[in-house]
């Protein structure tokens, strides 16, 4: 699978990124893949390559580029209870500093980059996110309804909050099809009901599903939360969503 390490010009500098795409020279739909809070690392590159093998040009930017190139902090090969607290102590200030305004400014650059690539077809793109990336994928779709036809978020964080600009409150502006695959404790029952109600009221074509027996982070093979069945269910939901919305099914 061909891959590239890239530098993408943004309004605030240059974001390093990883891209994977099919070997043959045809054009393919673009997918903007938003990393989890742990950052751009080998497991995300492997997942991008897996997705590219199904016929997509997959772009994975380093969302923390303002602090340096990935890995911005040293990430253990395996993240378990013994090193998680120390790692997240370093990561969370960067997570909190990535405001919706900054993330959307960056999203414009990422989508423009995808549109300029000769390997990317001219149709709509998908936005896929893990952990904090789920909310960013939704925000990107709302900001660019003419470009983003599919949103998927897995073990997403921060979808339903009390903030006036909570992602779930943006549902009336959504035109993309949506799937959220939740770990068992990502949202309370009340939070899920509030998310469902917002999406229903907006007439969004969506699915919100709790993946049984999973912990937050279940798709990530380099963490103690990894669940092989959850990862497979994620592919079983993601690939049909992209296929029917991006004209690649």
* Residue written as token pair 């070997």: 23
Q: What is the pLDDT of residues 133-182, one digit of tens each?
A: 999 999 999 999 999 999 999 999 999 999 999 999 999 999 999 999 99
What is the pTM assigned to this prediction?
A: 0.98
Q: What is the pLDDT of residues 216-228, one digit of tens each?
A: 999 999 999 999 9
Domain 3-245 maps to which CATH number in 3.40.50.1820, 3.40.50.10360, 3.40.190.10, 3.40.50.12780?
Answer: 3.40.50.1820
Q: In terms of Cα–Cα distance, which of 49, 239, 241 is closest to 149?
A: 241
Q: Say how far apart CA 78 and CA 59 lie, in whole Å.
A: 24
Please tell me the predicted confidence (pLDDT) of residue 249.
Answer: 60
The answer to whether 193 and 164 have CB atoms below 8 angstroms apart is: no
Quick one: CA dihedral 24, 25, 30, 33, positive or negative? Answer: positive
Q: In terms of Cα–Cα distance, which of 98, 38, 94 is closest to 71?
A: 38
The answer to whether 187 and 218 have CB atoms below 8 angstroms apart is: no
Q: Can you list the residues of the chain whose pLDDT is less than 50?
A: none
Task: Transcribe 125-167 into DSSP letters.
Answer: EEEEEETHHHHHHHHHHHH-TTTEEEEEEES--SSS-SSTT-G
Q: Say how far apart CA 157 and CA 130 lie, in whole Å.
A: 8
């Amino acid at each position: 699978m061909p891959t590239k390490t890239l530098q993408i010009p943004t309004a605030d500098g240059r974001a390093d990124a990883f891209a994977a795409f099919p070997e043959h020279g045809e054009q393919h739909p673009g997918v903007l893949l938003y990393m989890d809070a742990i950052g751009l690392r080998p497991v995300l590159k492997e997942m991008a390559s897996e997705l590219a093998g199904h016929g997509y040009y997959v772009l994975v930017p380093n969302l923390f580029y303002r602090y340096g190139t990935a890995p911005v902090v040293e990430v253990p090969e395996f993240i378990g209870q013994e090193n998680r607290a120390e790692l997240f102590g370093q990561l969370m200030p960067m997570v909190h500093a990535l405001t919706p305004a900054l993330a959307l400014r960056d999203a414009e650059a990422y989508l423009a980059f995808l549109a300029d690539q000769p390997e990317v077809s001219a149709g709509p793109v998908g936005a896929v996110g893990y952990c904090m990336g789920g909310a960013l994928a939704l925000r990107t779709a709302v900001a660019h309804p003419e470009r983003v036809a599919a949103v998927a978020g897995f073990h997403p964080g921060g979808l339903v909050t009390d903030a006036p600009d909570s992602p779930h409150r943006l549902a009336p502006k959504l035109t993309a099809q949506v799937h959220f695959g939740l770990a068992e404790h990502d949202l309370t029952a009340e939070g899920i009901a509030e998310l469902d109600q917002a999406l229903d009221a907006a007439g969004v074509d969506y699915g919100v599903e709790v993946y049984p027996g999973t912990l937050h982070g279940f798709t990530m093979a380099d963490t103690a939360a990894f669940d092989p069945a959850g990862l497979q269910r994620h592919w079983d939901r993601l690939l049909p969503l992209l296929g029917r919305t991006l004209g690649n099914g």
